[in-house]
Structure 1
């Protein structure tokens, strides 16, 4: 079966692409002949756009797809391995070092990896790629950077400006952007030729500078733009700190665009530089409004910056190029607002993280997954700031977002920040208890039951001391699950029932109660008390539907599928496995997806659908690889998997089973999730 090429990881282009045919042909040849290609050149010259085009054109040559990693939001090298893991679809849950996990994951992949804007991480990129290219012989890497990596085997291609003479690409780009800014304006008309040519030559064919100039033609004549550029070059102060001297032309264009902005636009430009990633209007208002910039004016001012090409739209969010962000950051410092904006930025993302915890446990889990993914680099920025400026708030943020990341395929990052935050603030309180609890949940994922149990007991002691009922329930869930995974289901059941008995009222009223109810069902199933387990699971599922908690409901469906298998009801088992899987696309829950596919395979095998079972089982194997484990789950699931394989092989024969299984194993997890969402599995 053809798995198809997944190129959805390549960002979409928001404007037309002009020229660069020779460069694209050259990069295409280099991608076929070399394993590490670095596109170098000054800021604004168009390296990223060329990489986008080249990667999309080359994608059919890479069966395992294209992974795109934006490096420009990273301020240090700590998150580089995690960023690359995200780009290639690895959500490692093990205790391995991220670089080791990444190299292992890519060892057999035929994949193109693009690292965009790596000039500030040259040493870290060199070290990472040195390991990766050695251990993953079929991976090709395309890097954009203002300087080479100086790594053995690197093919360096310098990207220059667009040509400015004759019938040139610089004029074509300027004319295209002029039409977008001022419909009906045709710079190719003879009356504009001289002024347009002056603009192109003055800006030396640098694409970003031409785009900024084109945007100004919405409010200025071509002749006026050319005249202002000439005047500005004559009076340009070469000592301004925005850029090194070699970027004089780009500095001029950016500074000129800045001067033409309205005062509120200049203020917002500076304040937006506090964001490391993309941003939406709500976050902009929360962080940037104040003083002369009223909250109700934010959308209007954002639109003004977009009209001048300072920011660009990406769906409901906005992006600012790093070159323009650097300029805004310089002005933010001159305004004396850098410290205040960093604090407001952090406070916003603390509030955001609290909302994400509720969101992940509520009806819009996929929507919150998208929000958290979009905000990832800014959440990291807020954590970095608070760890230095306010460790207590850092603990609060790490406890909230750490829980979300542990559910969202980022347990390694969650663990790293939680450990730092717990060490930075040792005072007791709800945030510390929650942080220790999340560390315990991550330890469960990593099969470190001793650590999980010890952390659970610490949380239980702290919850009792503070009289916090919900924290006590969560601690009991962690302790009980540790017993369950260690093969002690009777103890797990006792822990769950005692915890629930201490909290009178609606037994499904809070996430902590739902967790303990789920633990009780798991334990009853493991004990073979299937009638009680089914009754408990059925009641719990109704409560989850009533409360709008699809994440919890999906794991109840997992249990109902397993119970149905044990009771000889494979059609029901298939129904519940499919219901579980239907809740997984768009959630980042690779762990749950793997469990659901394994149970679906077992249910199909029990109905003698050997080929379908082999395909589902192979897809499960593909998903489990992204988690870093062959297969996981409660201890008794191992026997279910073995019986699944035996029955499927018996139904269609070993050769047919292996062919179907191996074809599905080769599918990319993104393709599998898309097929689940489309109802094809």
Structure 2
């Protein structure tokens, strides 16, 4: 019976692949391995010896040499030795060093809601974990990575960190492993095997050329000229779709001979990689080169709709973007993936993207394309805001999680160039910050947008409100109360009922959490809602109903609370909305528990937890588990109640604020569940069951 509530794999893989507590026997989020992995037996054996004994290992080497694939292979092999999992953090899309800790925390399952230093919270959370943390592509964040890794390793004695970087972190105790190109000497070399595999994938008839001894010698010469660098070999292999081996060797040789006398200061392998990419660039059609350059504005992966909106223009009309993109995929310039829940997406490796960005600079289009990118994602954020309280909520959750790196890039561009638009975008993403576990990051973007943007208008009022929501979740009630009052004044000036209702919700919760539920009812209750007017199905109205239900429960007016919650639940059901509906189920469970109807309370909280799991709402899951424990304790099942409290304890750790930082009502609920469970089974059995629940929740 307990397993139903352990919430293994709480977050759908399509939502970013970060399971929370209880991710099964092998927690982690390793991306799928490439089927085209070739060689590296010696390096893998070496890493197999190092990983159990060394705490910080950095794979270094030139771009395109295969550091990421090697790290992924080695990390997957070490998984069984890491009871708390192997966690992969891709840093390539990250540009702001200040978001490094938030990125790592979210990946490993810490959706911290406290106002304390996130570095401290992550160190405390990691302290008792035995896991492998992989930081992939650190070279543009060296100082930040060095600082964070040092703090984590000092705090967590069983933590191992594996990083990939073009240069060392420079940390004490760092074990460097240079990733060299593939061996290219001999007819059975790894470089030749990779070149052959990529060539045959591009053009199956090419297999015959590699099987012919004379022509195989030509293939070996190509591998030698490309220094055995995997990315260079893949780019060359893709060209055999339209060339023979002889043509390739002749043209590649001519290009390298011309560049051999240049005064290029790059080291030989860097020069080889740069030359191979430049050669591929020259062999592209003009519109392919243009798209390559414009795609460099994307950080991380993207979909074809974004590519069309951001990159079309001039000689590249929107109608041709998808076909030209397919051409870049065929040439291995762009990689195509398919993610469950996120559809078909595309990305460029860093070395290729950097080359494209240099060309975008030469074209003088950096600002133009960056602005298009920012406005596309501003529009997406606004569409998500409009659609969040509806039947597409889970899809929006998955979509925006997939687009997280692009949202960051767009916000940074708008903060730099269009502060008013940045304010609009940060405010429109309120649900992403508030409901999807990005509280620290959201507060940072919102504060920056409010400092630099206008001090009046709808965008300003919305950003104020969203900032207040993040303060609420962090337990910063003084800030939340002040923001609620300021938001109320701003909404009054707009004479916008929806904004007035949202402000009323913020203000009500800010006074209710410290214990003033009577004041909360005055601010958000039925009379206050009627005074503001507005749509009874709008977010502001529904949120005020939620605050009212909580306040009535705190005042032990349980039948009134249940009536309010039933109305809220029905309204959400009509909208097809899940996130708020789950909280209506929570209030119904609280009301039933207050009236002594423990079985009914358990049924309602199960419904609540089902929806919270779909949306990866760690905070809601933690709340629900405490309430379910109280309900089953009331039914006399002390062992299950203790196990649920143990599981809930683990979930509260992932949000950093047990019982919302000591909310009187929530602390009392948890304490009552514990008291009943101990009375039913005794202290010793309680402790055993509690620890069992904690262990089950942490894998």
TM-score interval, smaller chain: over 0.9
CA shift, 1:239, in A, is 6.4
Counterpart of 2:403 (choices 372, 375, 385) is: 375
Aligned position for 1:479: 507
Please list, as runs of the form range in 1=range in 2, the aligned pairs for 1:141-290 lying within 5 A after superposition. Answer: 141-166=161-186, 167-186=188-207, 187-236=210-259, 246-290=269-313
Could you state the TM-score of these two structures normalised by the residue count of structure 2?
A: 0.92
CA shift, 1:556, in A, is 0.1
Unmatched runs of 5 consecutive residues or more in structure 1: 672-681
CA shift, 1:4, in A, is 4.2
Aligned position for 2:8: none
CA contact (8 A) 1:39 1:144 kept: yes
Q: Give CA-to-partner distance per residue, 1:242-268, whole Å, 9 cap, x none.
A: 977651111121111112222221111
CA contact (8 A) 1:174 1:211 kept: yes
SS at match of 1:78: helix
Distance (Å, rounded) in 1 between the aligned partners of 2:618 and 2:112 = 10
Distance (Å, rounded) in 2 between the aligned partners of 1:384 and 1:400 = 15
Aligned position for 1:650: 679
Number of aligned residue pairs: 669
Q: Give CA-to-partner distance per residue, 1:384-437, whole Å, 9 cap, x none.
A: 111121111111112122442222111111111111111112431111111111
CA shift, 1:24, in A, is 0.5
Alignment pair present for 1:511 and 2:531: no
Please list, as runs of the form range in 1=range in 2, the aligned pairs for 1:119-138 lying within 5 A after superposition. Answer: 119-138=139-158
Aligned position for 1:677: none
CA contact (8 A) 1:242 1:327 kept: no
Alignment pair present for 1:40 and 2:60: yes
Distance (Å, rounded) in 2 between the aligned partners of 1:576 and 1:271 = 51
CA contact (8 A) 1:362 1:549 kept: yes
Aligned position for 1:77: 97
SS at match of 1:236: helix
CA gap of 1:500–1:620, structure 2 versus 1, over 3 A, is same
Moved more, 555-564 or 439-448: 439-448
Moved more, 638-647 or 460-469: 638-647
Counterpart of 2:321 (choices 288, 292, 298) is: 298
CA shift, 1:237, in A, is 7.5
Alignment pair present for 1:573 and 2:601: yes
Distance (Å, rounded) in 2 between the aligned partners of 1:380 and 1:209 = 31
Aligned position for 1:349: 377
SS at match of 1:142: strand
Distance (Å, rounded) in 1 between the aligned partners of 2:337 and 2:461 = 38
Aligned position for 1:115: 135
Moved more, 297-306 or 469-478: 297-306
Distance (Å, rounded) in 2 between the aligned partners of 1:117 and 1:67 = 14
Moved more, 637-646 or 32-41: 637-646
Distance (Å, rounded) in 2 between the aligned partners of 1:183 and 1:635 = 69
Distance (Å, rounded) in 2 between the aligned partners of 1:580 and 1:238 = 69
Distance (Å, rounded) in 2 between the aligned partners of 1:343 and 1:238 = 40
CA contact (8 A) 1:285 1:295 kept: yes
Distance (Å, rounded) in 2 between the aligned partners of 1:276 and 1:133 = 29
CA gap of 1:244–1:302, structure 2 versus 1, over 3 A, is farther
Larger RCO, structures 1/2 (Cα 8 Å, 6+ apart): 2
Could you state the TM-score of these two structures normalised by the residue count of structure 1?
A: 0.95
CA shift, 1:312, in A, is 1.1
SS at match of 2:111: coil
CA contact (8 A) 1:4 1:63 kept: no
SS at match of 2:664: coil
CA contact (8 A) 2:34 2:69 kept: no
CA shift, 1:361, in A, is 2.4
- Superposition CA RMSD, Å: 2.0
CA contact (8 A) 1:357 1:400 kept: yes
CA gap of 1:54–1:492, structure 2 versus 1, over 3 A, is same
CA shift, 1:273, in A, is 0.2
Distance (Å, rounded) in 1 between the aligned partners of 2:178 and 2:126 = 28
CA gap of 1:356–1:634, structure 2 versus 1, over 3 A, is farther
Please list, as runs of the form range in 1=range in 2, the aligned pairs for 1:531-610 lying within 5 A after superposition. Answer: 531-610=559-638
CA shift, 1:563, in A, is 0.8
CA gap of 1:242–1:183, structure 2 versus 1, over 3 A, is farther
SS at match of 2:98: coil
Distance (Å, rounded) in 1 between the aligned partners of 2:146 and 2:407 = 26
